[in-house]
Amino acid sequence: MSNALKDMVKEVALEARELNKSFGGLTATDNLSIEVARGEIHAVIGPNGAGKTTFVNVLSGLLKPDSGEILFAGRDVTLLSAAARVRQGLARSFQITSIFRDFTTLENVMLSVQAGQGHSFRFWAPTARDKSLREPAVDLLERVGLGDRVDVTAGNLAHGEQRQLEIAISLATNPSFLLLDEPMAGMGPEESQGMIDFLKVLKGSYTMLLVEHDMDAVFALADRITVLVYGKAIATGTPDEIRNDAAVRAAYLGEEAV
């Protein structure tokens, strides 16, 4: 198929072109190119230290690449700040939770709704009663399954609930694209299954790049998978293609307890 025809068939939501990022002498992102089609869940897997979080950090704008380009919805966003990318619809969650632990569940999401409306964090008293923040925040918490936990201090939520809150915080900025860095990290089997089911529901409305170690989740959710080893993409394909890829099995699936 010609490239022009391919573009007509699938719209590219996010494209990384030949990204490089080093920390001193360590190459964490090595000439990495990836295309995420609109509407797909594109999983990024790889052993510990493969450069998955670094890649998410570069895509979200937390880190600047040493070279390469990032296109989001056809626009070059390589030089944009993380906040500017969020305003264009590119949201992320963190591997290590980034909630405000002393605030309630609801306040955490309201702050993010406010940030998504283009305001910086205005602390605080008038905001707490602001219906334009409160209503969307309550809706989001109901969607992620925390409807009965709105007034709990976020630091007191169970670990899995904190991951759900992270997703609500990401969704609050009204994104079209979610960068998810290990949303199942630290969850038990039941919580993981709940998150898998929830991400399936979100799939109709968002494009996602999913970094995840939980292979059951990856194979249940992903349309395509890219395998990173030492910052390099060694394979991209459908779950079946990846499962049967000899290089992937040797480099990753074979040696990790998955």
Ligand X SMILES: Nc1ncnc2c1ncn2[C@@H]1O[C@H](COP(=O)(O)OP(=O)(O)OP(=O)(O)O)[C@@H](O)[C@H]1O
Which residues form the interface with ligand X (CB under 6 A)? 23, 26, 28, 46, 48-54, 95
Site string for Mg ion, 75-114 (x = CB under 5 A): --------------------x-------------------
Query: Which residue has its beta carbon closest to Mg ion?
Result: 53
- DSSP reduced 3-state for 84: helix
Report cis status (omega within 30 of 0) of the bond before 124: yes
What's the min distance (Å) between Cβ of 229 and Mg ion? 14
Q: Which does 194 bind (CB under 5 to 8 A by kind): Mg ion, ligand X, none?
A: none
**Spatial distance between the Cα atoms of 23 and 247, rounded to a whole number of angstroms:** 26
Q: Which does 2 bind (CB under 5 to 8 A by kind): ligand X, Mg ion, none?
A: none
Tokens linked to 61: 């704008």
Q: Which does 165 bind (CB under 5 to 8 A by kind): Mg ion, ligand X, none?
A: none
The alpha carbon of 212 is separated from its chain's Cα centroid by a whole number of angstroms, namely 10
**Spatial distance between the Cα atoms of 29 and 65, rounded to a whole number of angstroms:** 9
- DSSP reduced 3-state for 76: strand
What's the min distance (Å) between Cβ of 185 and Mg ion? 9
What's the min distance (Å) between Cβ of 178 and ligand X? 17
Is the CB of residue 59 less than 8 Å from the CB of residue 16?
Answer: yes
Tally of CB atoms within 10 A around 108: 26
Of the two residues 146 and 251, which places its CB atom closer to ligand X in the complex?
Answer: 251
Read off the amino acid at residue 112: S
**Spatial distance between the Cα atoms of 74 and 32, rounded to a whole number of angstroms:** 18
Bridge partners of 70?
16
Strands (DSSP E) found in 88-216: 90-92, 177-181, 207-211
Q: Using the rule CB under 5 A, which residue among 29, 53, 60, 114 binds Mg ion? A: 53
Q: Which does 61 bind (CB under 5 to 8 A by kind): ligand X, Mg ion, none?
A: none
For Mg ion, which stretch binds (CB under 5 A), given 35-43, 49-57, 96-104, 250-258?
49-57
Q: Which does 48 bind (CB under 5 to 8 A by kind): Mg ion, ligand X, none?
A: ligand X
Of the two residues 8 and 26, which places its CB atom closer to ligand X in the complex?
Answer: 26
What's the min distance (Å) between Cβ of 167 and ligand X? 18
Tokens linked to 67: 């070279």
What's the min distance (Å) between Cβ of 256 and ligand X? 10
Bridge partners of 32?
19
Query: Which residues of the chain form contacts with Mg ion (CB under 5 A)?
Result: 52-53, 95
